[in-house]
Copies of this chain bind each other. A is one copy, B any other.
């Protein structure tokens, strides 16, 4: 509840919206400063007794060093949350707080699923037809080996298929040039692995100009290029807003509205939201966590990887 630029207000509003729109099967565990949360929940017509409030009064700010902050602020909502997640007190964790701390928590408190080389985080890529592509890695794994990219393809495929409802997700390798054999050493080596990878529908290379087109549903790359693509796409939205350009497609570059992305490859559902997440994002993140559990995404990942 304490993560994000508008904490805890937007999280509270998100919960109110989630509940008013039919959410009732999930027990919400609210981590944060109880003295702040309790009156705010009541103010928004919510019954604190219908949820589990866990007092976690410390805050990890957006710019704090993740490992250091998690170690020193044991009563922060992120530290307490990962403790509960690791010990079974919760089934999923959601936060719009310090991304680094969320990742450190994911990697060290929760650990990877067996056989996972590198947990990864993706980014949605909006398309003109309203569909979303999924680009991964979006920044955790700046240097990758070819087999990492092949595994990202499996993780992205399972996520897009079972959670996002894309029937047979097309996987593209982000590259420079269309034909096999093009690209840097990593892309050249990853291509044949992707071709042979079972459980995915590999369509070959996609280029920078294809990222925003409905060509591949899953786009794999190392996290250096992926993060630069993501940040550049985000900056398009800043430009559109700044220049007051009105266009329905460019509106979808508002990445805060998507409601968070899962850390894929770790043993529990972890969902990381944008710092400026609003009520709708929080609602969407709760639903995303529910869907990951309902569809047994992690079970499917375990089956596919081992």
Contacts and interface: CB of A to CB of B under 8 A. Distances in A.
Interface stretch (A23-31, A219-227, A272-280, A281-289): A219-227
Interface size class of A (residues with CB under 8 A): 35 or more
Interface stretch (A72-80, A104-112, A230-238, A260-268): A230-238
Contact of A143 (B174, B184, B239, B247): B184
The SS class assigned to the A binding surface is helix
B249 A239 contact: yes
A249 B233 CA distance: 16
A7 interface: no
Interface stretch (A48-56, A196-204, A208-216): A208-216
Residue of A142, A187, A243 contacting most chain B CB atoms (<10 Å)? A142
A47 interface: no
Contact of A184 (B176, B224, B239): B224
Contact of A228 (B143, B213, B229): B229
A306 interface: no
Complex copy number for this chain: 2
A180 interface: no
A185 B247 CA distance: 39
B223 A208 contact: no
B239 A227 contact: no
A183 B227 CA distance: 10
B243 A247 contact: yes
B183 A224 contact: yes
A227 B208 contact: yes
Contacts of A242: 128
Given A247-B243, A249-B243, A250-B245, A184 B222 contact: yes
A235 B250 contact: no
Q: 7 closest Cβ contacts across the A-B interface?
A: A208-B231, A208-B228, A142-B184, A209-B235, A208-B232, A176-B227, A209-B231
28 contacts: A128-B243, A139-B176, A142-B183, A174-B228, A176-B223, A176-B224, A184-B223, A207-B227, A207-B228, A208-B228, A208-B229, A208-B230, A208-B232, A208-B234, A208-B235, A209-B232, A209-B235, A212-B232, A212-B235, A225-B228, A228-B228, A228-B229, A229-B232, A232-B232, A236-B236, A243-B247, A245-B247, A245-B250
Given A208-B231, A229-B232, 17 more contacts: A128-B242, A143-B185, A176-B223, A184-B222, A184-B224, A187-B224, A207-B231, A208-B229, A208-B233, A209-B234, A209-B235, A209-B238, A211-B228, A211-B232, A212-B235, A229-B229, A245-B247
